[in-house]
Amino acid sequence: MKLFAALFACALLSLSPVQAQPSPIVIRFSHVVAPATPKGKAALRFKELAERATGGRVRVQVYPNSELYQDRDELEALQLGAVEMIAPSLSKLTPLGVREFEVFDVPFLFPDETALHKITQGPIGKRLLDRLRSKGIVGLAFWDNGFKSFSANRPLYRPEDMSGLRMRIQPSRVLDAQMRALGAQPITMRFGEVYAALEAGVVDGTENPPSNFYTQNMQDVQTHFTVSNHGYLGYVVIVNKKFWDDLPADIRSALEDAMQEATRYAASISNAENAAALDAIRASGKTEVHTLTAAERQAWVDALAPVVQEMKDVIGSQLIADIQQTIRTSDQHVSH
């Protein structure tokens, strides 16, 4: 009788809701910037939305500030399945052999965010995302940060002011050409190493939107910041293809919805985040902020114009032409 009761209890236990619960699907989401940036905030918003929409069947673990992986390593980790989701900047996909993404680095190609969104949220963006599948990666979305500015320990008003400076860049041929066109020496470096390199004088300057500059305390090691808005910095959110394809269909669809909403959120906060960061840089009193006048800006546009021509072979002249054409067409549907 005792044995029967014990067996009965065991059977009941094995049916209990706690035991029947499958363990959650874990998405490790690694990135290299601070939590208080457009990307950092969008990653946390995605976590919240994804966990809510799946009723806890998915757990998203966000690792900011290169805590888990540095730039290049995170790409390899994604392909190996050591991390499920990352959001590298568009300048960092070259190791995958998809150079087309470097088109976003072309200086002064995108006049503003509206033009930019016509590409990232339109057919060209979709085509670019599709290119990733053959690399074992699924591209889910483009996330915004904003337009970049130059910084150094000297005023940068005219293109000639860049002459001889060792400027940190992301690993992109276009950015390399951009710095050379300005007479600077480009030095490729991981984002997580930039502050120390500036502090030690290994590099003299850098380029980033204000949000990335301020949240890494670069105002402590750079005396001048020029609002040049010469190029765009955005991200592609990518997942390991096998992981994604193996997800139950209802989970995948809930995650796609969460991603869409997080993407709208990133677009809605990026301007304000960068404006607030710029104010904070000014308020620090450590870095002088200069905004290019229209005439000053034109000199930078002229100095950088040859880069587009030079990079046509790298990126593909058709893609550049398609982008220029799409930007000119004002009645393009924009979905964000």
Binding site for ligand LMR (CB under 6 A): 32-33, 39, 89, 145, 170, 191, 208, 212, 233
- Round to whole Å and give the CA distance between 207 and 168: 7
3-state secondary structure of 238: strand
Q: CA distances (Å), 137 to each of 9, 92, 307, 330, in order?
A: 47, 14, 30, 32
- Round to whole Å and give the CA distance between 233 and 213: 12
Least Å distance, CB 89 to ligand LMR, is 3
Q: Which is nearer to ligand LMR, 54 or 228 (CB)?
A: 228
CA-angle at 182, arms to 180 and 219, nearest 5° = 105
- Asked if 168 contacts 91 with a C-beta cutoff of 8 angstroms, the reply is no
- Asked if 30 contacts 74 with a C-beta cutoff of 8 angstroms, the reply is yes
Least Å distance, CB 244 to ligand LMR, is 21
Q: Which is nearer to ligand LMR, 235 or 254 (CB)?
A: 235
- Asked if 44 contacts 38 with a C-beta cutoff of 8 angstroms, the reply is no
- Between helix 123-130 and helix 317-328 the angle, nearest 10°, is 150
Q: Which is nearer to ligand LMR, 94 or 170 (CB)?
A: 170
Least Å distance, CB 304 to ligand LMR, is 18
- Round to whole Å and give the CA distance between 153 and 234: 26
Q: Which is nearer to ligand LMR, 24 or 35 (CB)?
A: 35
Least Å distance, CB 161 to ligand LMR, is 21
Least Å distance, CB 32 to ligand LMR, is 5
For residue 265 the two structure tokens come to 């959120």
Q: Which is nearer to ligand LMR, 69 or 191 (CB)?
A: 191
Q: Which is nearer to ligand LMR, 145 or 287 (CB)?
A: 145
Q: Which is nearer to ligand LMR, 54 or 146 (CB)?
A: 146
**114 phi and psi, to 5 degrees?**
-60, -45
Least Å distance, CB 169 to ligand LMR, is 8
- Round to whole Å and give the CA distance between 178 and 66: 26
Q: CA distances (Å), 312 to each of 98, 155, 191, 297, in order?
A: 14, 31, 27, 23
Least Å distance, CB 268 to ligand LMR, is 18
How many residues are listed for the chain in this entry?
A: 336
